Amino acid sequence: ASMSVVVEVEEKPKFDAGKAALLVKELRKSFNAGRTRSFEWRVRQLKSIEKMLEEKEKEITEALFKDLSKPGFEAFCEISQVKSSCKLALKELSRWMIPEKVKTSFTTYPSSAEIVSEPLGVVLIISAWNFPFLLSLDPVIGAISAGNAVVLKPSEIAPATSLLLSNFVEEYLDNSAIKVVEGAIDETTALLDQKWDGILYTGSAIVGRIVMAAAAVHLTPVTLELGGKCPAVVDSNSNLQVAVRRIIAGKWACNNGQACTGVDYIITTKEFAPNLIHSLRIELEKFFGKDPLKSKDISRIVSSFHFARLVKLLDEDKVSNKVVFGGQRDEKQLKIAPTILLDVPDDALIMQEEIFGPLVPILTVENLEDSIEVINSKPKPLAAYLFTNDEQLKKAFVQNISSGGMLINDTIIHVVVDGLPFGGVGESGMGSYHGKFSFDAFSHKKAVLYRSFDGDASVRYPPYTPEKQKL
């Protein structure tokens, strides 16, 4: 007789709306009991994150490699940014928590007033796959600093990092107030059905709309960290080699273009384009060799879905003959080489959607000033970059272009300046975080006025005689 072996696969119990409700209930209990409010609790959690970063650097680097073939150096930068956020929060927290005294008015005399930062309550953080470690923990640091209970939902598209975050939070942090829920659309939907006191979402604008609609049901405030097409304008009056190296750093050497602040397209003059392309070729070859598909210093495309999406942008009929550099791909390894395109038509897919990969179209204009109109004709980007020595042009750029952030003569690194808020405007998002802005993003600014029983002017009380109005 034939024997059949039944292999029982143990299925993970499904995380549904019922489970999500229980989770929020548990965290709310901790929050309401005041567990997360004390300065000491916040510091303890932040110190544990610091300890975890020290102890687990290798595992984190490995997970980032599994998810994205992220080069070691880029993983190091990602981890370092979390470290510095944590360090800053630990250094500044006591100052951030001090109520801010404000002036009072004559009408309230005698009185004093202050703005008290209070935690929002129980908050949800939903993060993206491209910097899966940073984009998860950086907001968590803000939420903890501000004294909230928090649920983190990392991206399922970076599964190794998602699992690691789940394990680390369990091991290092206070699980009665800080939890990770792993999962994709179903799990996120179950979470979004709950009443939260704040949501910070990082990802695409399409899902941003879903998050905001779900939040509207409970009047939950949202911070939406979205993306968009970030332009880089290159003037002939600039140090071309430095400009080009920094464009490469902000495009291919940053997750192979899979970055929200990555350079999406370049604008230069018709006249200058050949010089720019020439210089890009030279520097790209220096950085990634003659066969960039073999370079260890460049991330792969995150998934076959995104690989196919990028190939579609590149192979569109009206685009495929515009490639002036690169274009090689390796489907098995999910690698696409740095690729430059010149003068693609504006109705091409590649100019309609955020590229989020190693392709860069160069658009040309007659005068560089025209670039302002080109940029303003599109949805507001998360970042806008300009390379020039021309002070007038810098001024015109800053005054006339609306974008989440702006960086003159470099790319991307404005995000490491703690004093600058990081966030979008319009299609690129709303609200911001980083440094003190993270604390503020997860705090309610409570207006508190202290009066004494003195100065009780009878003029404000009825009966309202005509004499009182004359005063």
Which residues form the interface with ligand NAD (CB under 6 A)?
126-130, 135, 153, 155-157, 184-185, 188-189, 202-204, 207, 210, 225-227, 260, 354, 356, 382, 424, 429
DSSP-derived letter for residue 459 is G
Structure tokens at 154: 């990392």
Cβ atoms 382, 354 nearer than 8 A: no
CA within 13 Å, CB half, 126: 27
Would strands 149-153 and 122-126 be described as parallel, antiparallel, or unpaired?
A: parallel
Q: What is the DSSP track for 292-331?
A: GGG-TTS---S-HHHHHHHHHHHHSHHHHTTEEE---EET
> Of 50, 74, 187, 225, which one is the catalytic site residue?
225
3-state secondary structure of 348: coil
Q: State yes or no: is 260 an active-site residue.
A: yes
Q: How far is the CB of 155 from ligand NAD (least distance, A)?
A: 4
Helix (H) or strand (E) holding 210: helix 205-217
Q: How far is the CB of 7 from ligand NAD (least distance, A)?
A: 30
Q: State yes or no: is 254 an active-site residue.
A: no
Q: How far is the CB of 87 from ligand NAD (least distance, A)?
A: 20
Cβ atoms 388, 237 nearer than 8 A: yes
Other CB atoms within 10 Å distance of the CB of residue 80: 14
DSSP-derived letter for residue 422 is B
3-state secondary structure of 280: helix
For ligand NAD, the closer CB: 147 or 250: 250
Structure tokens at 76: 């190091």
Q: How far is the CB of 204 from ligand NAD (least distance, A)?
A: 4
For ligand NAD, the closer CB: 135 or 165: 135
> Of 74, 260, 283, 354, which one is the catalytic site residue?
260
For ligand NAD, the closer CB: 24 or 240: 24
Burial class (CB in 10 A: 0-12, 13-18, 19+), 273: buried
Q: How far is the CB of 253 from ligand NAD (least distance, A)?
A: 17
Quote the CA–CA distance of 223 and 208 in Å, as a whole number: 10
Query: What length is written for the chain?
Result: 471
Quote the CA–CA distance of 344 and 346 in Å, as a whole number: 6
Nearest residue relative to ligand NAD (C-beta): 227
Q: How far is the CB of 464 from ligand NAD (least distance, A)?
A: 53
For ligand NAD, the closer CB: 229 or 322: 229
For ligand NAD, the closer CB: 260 or 277: 260
Q: How far is the CB of 424 from ligand NAD (least distance, A)?
A: 6
Burial class (CB in 10 A: 0-12, 13-18, 19+), 456: exposed
For ligand NAD, the closer CB: 276 or 384: 384
For ligand NAD, the closer CB: 128 or 276: 128
Residues labelled catalytic: 225, 260
